[in-house]
Amino acid sequence: MGSVKRLRCDLRQGRGRGGAGIVWREPESEGLGQAARRGVHMSDQPVVADLSALREVAEGGIVSKPIVENEHHKIVLFTFAAGQELSEHTASVPAVIHVLEGSGRVVLDGVAHEAGAGSWYYMPAELRHAVQAETALTMLLTMFRT
């Protein structure tokens, strides 16, 4: 059976578009290699993460924590402070948004959908989309590269 890697994080702060504060989380470098030190697990081994423990709201900002990145997927945990949003954009690959906690709206191709815990949205490549948080909102974004 393969080994299991546990996600460990420390804090680094940055600034996002529009002046909104974004807090980037990176795992500690204990035996995780260069990719892990950049905050991304590029592994063919299982990665175990307690998403509830990783959830942290940055006052007036968005927290983005890469969980896994490999040739097939990129999985990122996002936490939005109340009132924050990801402006409309597209992605070159299909993606899924899974809302874990909070409330807001996910806008897909100009149509707003209420978002709450358990809401799930599939987006084909190049679909215009945006995310708006009414309350603190946590979501998992999975991008499919193949």
Span 137-143, average pLDDT: 98
pLDDT in tens, 82-120: 999 999 999 999 999 999 999 999 999 999 999 999 999
Which residues contact residue 85 at a Cβ distance below 8 angstroms, ignoring those fewer than 6 apart?
130, 131, 132, 133
Least confidently predicted of 4-8, 38-42, 76-80: 4-8
What pLDDT, on the 0 to 100 scale, is given for residue 118? 98
Band of the pLDDT at 41, cuts 50, 70, 90?
low
pLDDT band per the 50, 70, 90 thresholds, residue 19:
very low
Taking alpha carbons only, the member of 47, 43, 45 closest to residue 7 is 47
**Where exactly are the structural domains of the chain?**
5-144
First vs last Cα of the chain: how many Å apart?
Answer: 26
For residue 19, the one-letter residue type is G
Helices then strands, counting H and E runs in the chain, come out as: 2, 13
Do 10 and 26 touch, CB atoms closer than 8 A?
A: yes
Spatial strand order of the sheet with 129-133 comes to 85-89, 129-133, 103-108, 111-116
Give 76's contacts (C-beta < 8 A, 6+ positions apart): 64, 65, 66, 67, 140, 141, 143
Please tell me the predicted confidence (pLDDT) of residue 79: 95
Residue 55 pLDDT > 60 = yes
Whole-structure pTM over 0.85, yes or no?
A: no
14 vs 42, higher pLDDT: 42
Out of 3.90.950.20, 3.40.1010.10, 3.40.50.10800, 2.60.120.10, the CATH code matching 5-144 is 2.60.120.10
**Mean of the per-residue pLDDT values of the chain:** 78
Say if residue 23's pLDDT is above 60: no
What integer pLDDT is reported at residue 47 of this predicted model?
A: 82
Instruction: Reply yes or no on whether the pLDDT at 8 is more than 60.
Output: no
